[in-house]
Structure 1
Amino acid sequence: MRRFLIPALLIASPAVAQPPLFDPAGYRIAHYRAPVRQAPAGVGRIAPAAAAQLVPGRDALFIDVLPAEGGHREADGRWRLVAPHESIPGAHWFPEAGRGAPGPGIDAWFAQGVARLTQGRRDRMLILFCRADCWMGWNAAKRLRAAGYTNVWWLAEGTDGWNDLKKPLSRVEPAGGATP
């Protein structure tokens, strides 16, 4: 009788449900470090070598959305960081803005920050990125395209691709500032 009890328990046990990878709007909400095959609809994909030919701030706005590892945003909007962040020189860093469901206040902070940087020009060239095989740059590019920006590009290889070109990275602070 004991021989049959274990297999019966295995068959009767419920399967562990996996969380969904995407929300109903198509934003990636889990397992952000995974291969990404194509840019979101209406967004161009730019190669690292092509991006390296542009001057940040003049030719395009480079927007980094990698999270602040271990850091968090205070109620007053300043960021508490536990480690410095290096990015493409001249990039504007909006930590957490690439999440599928950004935390409270992040969406508005991101939208207002980009509107300020573009001076309201929806046709300004925007290059969104994080790291290679990271859905956060993809999400942020999709979000800005949905907000009506018409010249949105996704640098799929992110800072990893920039590094592969032997281009330097430089320390950046979150848009709006950080606290020690």
Structure 2
Amino acid sequence: MKTLAGLILAAFTFTVSTSAQERPPEPAGYRMEDYRAPVPATLAGARVLATAEAEAIWRAKSGVFIDVMPRAPKPPNLPQGTVWRDKPRLNILGSMWLPDTGYGKLAAATEDYLRRGLVRATAGDTTALVVVYCQADCWMSWNAAKRILTYGYANVAWYPDGTDGWERAGLALTESQPEPRAGEAGAPPH
């Protein structure tokens, strides 16, 4: 029995070690498809955070947290009279949710939304620590963090485990609403 248990443990350890090594390399540009897939272990120019590091920043209130999880669109062909309710997004308390800003290519309005959100979150301080996340194995946060670096933000951190890692660590998540877009109720003036 000990031998069988040892073989199972060894096989599990090998599988975990192998999958950890099979991280894809950083692409030169943005990820354009298959956003829910293994992500690189690195992001050039950004600090990569483990959950304990993200928690320490959050507890110390030493950075702003930006959630880029996409928002599910309302289906276009709902029968008349159907009530549509957005799926709630649970994120890290105090985060600014800027949905749909992690795609590989952004419409000009979405890019403007991301830029304006960052200015609000950091009070215009491009040296402020910006922690970008989504879910585990989600390229949205990698793309968004890479894009934020191109805006001149000098202190960008990427938290690749996102809300999945936060929840696995037993840390609380809270229901949130997206930051309003320009022209929406509650949106700050231009």
1:135 aligns with 2:139: yes
Q: Which residue of 1 aligns with 2:126?
A: 122
Residues of 2 paired with 1:175 and 1:27: CA distance? Answer: 24
Change (3 A) 1:92 1:81: farther
Distance, in Å, in 2 between the alignment partners of 1:56 and 1:36 is 26
Distance of 2:92 and 2:107 partners within structure 1 = 25
- Cα deviations by residue, 1:107-130 (Å, 9 ceiling, x for unpaired): 001101101221211110000000
Q: Does 1:55 align with 2:50?
A: no
Q: Which residue of 2 aligns with 1:42?
A: 45
Q: Counterpart in 2 of 1:152?
A: 156
- Structure 2 CA distance, aligned partners of 1:173 and 1:130? 14
1:85 offset after TM fit, Å? 0.8
How much does 1:58 deviate? 3.0
| Pair 1:107-2:111 in alignment | yes
1:62-89 C-alpha deviation (Å, 9 max, x unpaired):
00000002359xxxxxxx9621111011
How does the TM-score come out when normalised to structure 1? 0.76
AA partner of residue 54 (structure 1): I
Q: Percent identity?
A: 37
Output the CA distance in 1 between the equivalents of 2:28 and 2:59.
30
> In structure 2, what residue type is equivalent to 1:37?
P
Shift of 1:42: 0.4
The answer to whether the 8 A contact 1:62-1:91 is kept is yes
What displacement does 1:139 show? 0.4
In 1: Cα distance, 2:66 partner to 2:85 partner? 18
Give the alignment's Cα RMSD to 1 decimal.
2.3
What SS is found at the alignment partner of 1:52? helix
What is the identity, as a one-letter code, of the residue corresponding to 1:35? Answer: P
Query: What SS does the aligned partner of 1:139 have?
Result: helix
Decide which of 71, 75, 82 is 1:68's aligned counterpart: 71
Instruction: Tell me if structure 2 keeps the 8 A contact 1:56–1:89.
Output: no
Larger helix share, 1 or 2: 2
Contact 2:46-2:156 at 8 Å conserved across structures: yes
Per the alignment, do residues 123 and 170 of structure 1 end up closer, same or farther by CA in structure 2, a change over 3 Å counting? same
C-alpha separation in 2, matches of 1:101 and 1:85: 23
Q: CA deviation at 1:61?
A: 0.4
SS of the residue aligned with 2:149?
Answer: helix
Equivalent residue number for residue 90 of structure 1: 94
Structure 2 letter corresponding to 1:124 = A
Bigger Rg over Cα? 1
SS in 1 for 2:65: strand
Query: Unmatched 5+ residue regions in structure 1?
Result: 1-23, 73-79
Change (3 A) 1:105 1:71: farther
Residue ranges of structure 2 left out of the alignment (5+ in a row): 1-26, 76-83, 186-190
